[in-house]
Structure 1
């Protein structure tokens, strides 16, 4: 008894996923890969942060340069310079004095180049975009900038306070009502106060949203293709496996005769191999069931004859008073008992032979030495009717096969017994063994009537035999050649019967076995 099933289960078992059908598992694997691709949405947040940082640095530089320009210009030319610089930078410029009072504002001067958009007046598309922005910011844990609101006092702006306190440049990122970034920067103007720039960086939001839309389109297309391929893969794997599983269940339920296991001849992959293997297995199982049923029917038939004869003799024995007739009846009883014993022994061996061969340990066996020893023992016991045994082989030639010695010896015993039964008085039985490439060929020839060509396959069937007319009934069970074929085939060989070439009469049984020392 082996534990291969337990070992296989330990090597191939899956923990929680083993309880889920293949189709959702295939989909889950592909969806996981898509989830990794969807991680690109979170990469866009870091991409946006880098752009904002770059804009903050740019705004700080512009504020410093504007402060330098305002410091060097005359007060009467200040407003014109601020309008021109605001137009060039796209930012709103405001100048505060030392007390935080507003001195100049480009919007008040007529340049409205920084206008915040009211989200309530935007369409549904922008609302959906803002929702996605908020959702992604929440998932990635992005810092939420403060809401941008106008302030009347200059010192209410943190950038102005910072720049006025001695840190000449300061910048802050704000959040507009429509979630676009607003960047403010302030720089001290020597002797005049602090200048502050304000820019609504809508282009950053637009860039991120455009990239997100492109990524969404790619993800959608890849998702559709992946799902379709997953369903196709699941269909090509799961459906045939389910068909094979249903067929196997029906075979297990005892419906092997009516089950047709699909062979999937068009498939050349592992599933096709599995389908054909299961189909062949079911056909072999069906053949084994048929053989078992036929064997059981033959056993019943063969045992009924001696049992009927034995019962008739026993019943008659109590009613017969003649001593001679009683002796004859006792002889019949004795012969029937011997016949039943021989029949039961052969039936027991034939029924267990396949299982025993599957567990047998094969070892190197010199067939030449085995046959020589078998014939020597047979001649020592004496061969009936003056029959002679002749063994033809090359002296010293090794004829080694991998075999179970006792079983293989039984094959040649049966063949010799069969040849003796059919040989005439004083006949010769020839046994020869020769090497033929990678096979060992053993021939057993007799001088009997031979085997008709139409019966050469039938003689190897169980309980099927062509016995000599002069042989006493019941002396053989009809299982000898069937047992011989089973043993030979269990050793990866074959056995057949043919006519002799040198005489008109006689049979030749040929056994071919693979050599252990193949060259």
Structure 2
């Protein structure tokens, strides 16, 4: 059944192989040097450059301003020439005057008409009288067609039809402009000339007193040339900008995209368990955000590697500690059926009950220790008033204390609030474990003393002292290891798992503090008890 299903799935997946390969090829083609980020950087830079270049080449606003400026210039020139032509020297006829064609032609010769401009004079009927192109030395011509072999048929020249059509449209547009100017209103237009060029045209009526004698038309066809010159001037800058964009894209690819790809590949190596930590020295030496990222990833993977080693050791220690009571229970159960004496059977039963209690306590402490990291990461740190926390904890011991148990006292030597940034639940567990540990070692009639003070550097110190036998000097550091226990003679076997002080150190170090153990010495130099001290950074501490 499973084989049939697998076969069906394989057959169903076969037709999709080619599209998948095509899609993968498309993704590779969109990458720049194998990097999607590098390709995105290149595309965005090129798009921004093309938008800028397209806007600069269009020059719509600048072209509009150029046309307006050209129209104003032509209008000023036309007003001057029209005023000259309206003088009596350039008119004839009484009582109805009209323009003198010969004198008007002299005006166009004598008055300077700049190159690229054309001036034409029309009479009151719209008939052309004078054209500056006709009275000037300028002779327009067209290039000869290319030579063709003798006897070959003449090519069909479609340009004549196009030229005739353009000329007709130009004459219609000019005729409408002349008719409007003969009505007495100046006209400014942008149109196409007979040759298809963009022309800025101004037409003004020529008046003698109030009578319109004709129309003066000034044209300039250099707008397109000016725009083309501006575009050509922009090309070197556009090429430089293109080079800068390509260089910036390449640098971003080399110094940003590729390092990120290397970090991603190194992270995959760690994920696939081919490496224990990310180590890229050339990236870690960089003094920028990529270097910070590489160092952070290396620190994170080192921490994870250390944590995995700790979990492995913890699992080994748990296995060892659990096997001891289980071995004892199995041995007692195997022996119980063979023992017929009731007293011996009762002793074996007591051993079984003691091992069960020990195993239950061990499993409970192991469960608490294994959940500790999750609880610390889940709870957000906040200011905790240590004086209030210790007062509540000591008050519980005073309320629930039983006869024969060591009493707990508290001394607060602070001149103000004592707050640390942390989690009140885990911190409370720290001091409860220390107090429980001190009470378990305290003889009858002794007491446990808790004190809190601030040092000159602003650190808060919480000290827990007892009157017990103390700690062997060689074990002052070992007591914080997991499953270490050294109980005094007569203590109930299995009542302690050896995880209490290990949990204390783990919580304190998670809060940026330090815990240490030492022996109290009497005046005679003998050991008078144990002393545990927790130092935590206070909120707003002095530096």
With normalisation by structure 1, the TM-score equals: 0.70
Q: What is the aligned partner in structure 2 of residue 443 from structure 1?
A: 464
Unaligned runs of 5+ in 1: 1-19, 122-145
- Aligned to 1:39, which of 55, 66, 69? 55
Q: How big is the shift at 1:497?
A: 1.1
Pairing partner for 1:206 from 225, 235, 238: 225
Summarize the Cα distance change of 1:399–1:443 in structure 2 as closer, same or farther, 3 Å threshold: farther
Deviates more, 1:345-354 or 1:55-64: 55-64
Pick from 268, 287, 297: which aligns with 1:278?
Answer: 297
Q: Which runs of 5+ in 2 are unaligned?
A: 1-34, 93-99, 147-164
Q: How does 1:101-250 map to 2 (within 5 A)?
A: 111-113=136-138, 115=140, 147-148=166-167, 157=175, 167=184, 173-177=191-195, 179-181=197-199, 183=201, 185=203, 194=214, 201-233=220-252, 235-249=254-268
Q: What is the distance in 1 between the residues matched to 2:389 and 2:230?
A: 82
Aligned length: 465
1:294 and 2:320 are equivalent in the alignment: no
Residue in structure 2 matched with residue 61 of structure 1 by the alignment: 79
Once the two structures are TM-superposed, the CA of residue 304 in structure 1 deviates from its matched residue by 0.9
Conserved? CA contact 1:92–1:114, under 8 Å: no
Matches of 1:484 and 1:155, distance apart in 2: 98
Judging changes above 3 Å, is the alpha-carbon distance between structure 1 residues 320 and 212 closer, same or farther for their aligned structure 2 residues?
Answer: same
Alignment of 1:427-442 (within 5 A): 431-437=449-455, 438=458, 439-442=460-463
Secondary structure, in 3 states, of the residue corresponding to 2:86? helix
Aligned to 1:380: 402
How much is the aligned-residue C-alpha RMSD, in angstroms?
4.7
Change (3 A) 1:313 1:496: same
Q: Helix, strand or coil: the match of 1:177?
A: coil
What does residue 479 of structure 1 align with? Answer: 499
1:351 and 2:370 are equivalent in the alignment? yes
Residue 341 (structure 1) aligns with: 360
* 1:460 aligned partner: 480
Per-residue CA deviations over 1:140-179 (Å, capped at 9, x if unaligned) read xxxxxx945799x99995566566x554976764435363
Does the CA contact (< 8 Å) of 1:95 and 1:195 recur in 2?
yes
CA distance in 1, matches of 2:350, 2:437: 25
| Partner Cα separation in structure 2 for residue 367 and residue 436 of structure 1 | 16
Cα 1:102–1:203 change in 2 (3 A) is: closer
* Alpha-carbon displacement from aligned partner over 1:6-65 (angstroms, at most 9, x marks no partner): xxxxxxxxxxxxxx9544554565456542464232233213322442354246335524
Q: 1:339 to 1:207 in 2, by over 3 A?
A: same
Residues in 2 aligned to 1:396 and 1:185: alpha-carbon distance in whole angstroms: 98
Inter-CA distance 488–374: structure 2 relative to 1 (3 Å threshold): farther
TM-score for the superposition, normalised by structure 2 = 0.68
Residue 323 of structure 2: which of 304, 324, 327 is its match? 304
Matched, 1:512 2:512: no
